[in-house]
Amino acid sequence: MSGDVAARPQPIVPETLDIGRQRLSARHVEGAPAGAETAVLVHGLGQSTTDWLGVLPLLGGALDAWALDLPGHGDSPAAPDGDYTPTAHARALVAAITRLGGPVHLAGNSLGGLVALIVAARRPDLVRTLTLVSPALPRRVPTRSGLGLMVLATPRLGDRLAAAGARRPPERRARELLEIIFAEPSLVTDEQLAALADEIATHSALPHAGPAFLGSLRGLVRTHLLQNRLVWQLGREVSAPVLVLYGGRDKLVSAHASRRARRAFPGATVRVDPTAGHIPQREHPEVFADLFLAHTGALPRAQEQP
The more confidently predicted of residues 145 and 2 is 145
Per-residue confidence at 32, pLDDT binned at 50, 70, 90? confident
Per residue in 171-202, pLDDT tens? 998 998 999 999 998 888 999 899 999 999 99
Per residue in 53-76, pLDDT tens? 999 999 988 999 999 999 999 999
Domain boundaries, the chain: 3-304
- Rounded CA separation 150/161 (Å): 12
For residue 92, the SS3 value is helix
Per-residue confidence at 144, pLDDT binned at 50, 70, 90? confident
Q: What is the torsion angle, in degrees rounded to the nearest 10, for the CA atoms of residue 283, residue 246, residue 67 and residue 266?
A: 160
pLDDT number for residue 141: 67
**C-alpha 302: how far from chain center:** 23
Superfamily of domain 3-304: Alpha/Beta hydrolase fold, catalytic domain (3.40.50.1820)
Helices (H), the chain: 3-6, 56-59, 86-100, 111-122, 144-152, 157-166, 170-181, 190-204, 209-226, 228-233, 257-264, 280-283, 285-296, 299-304
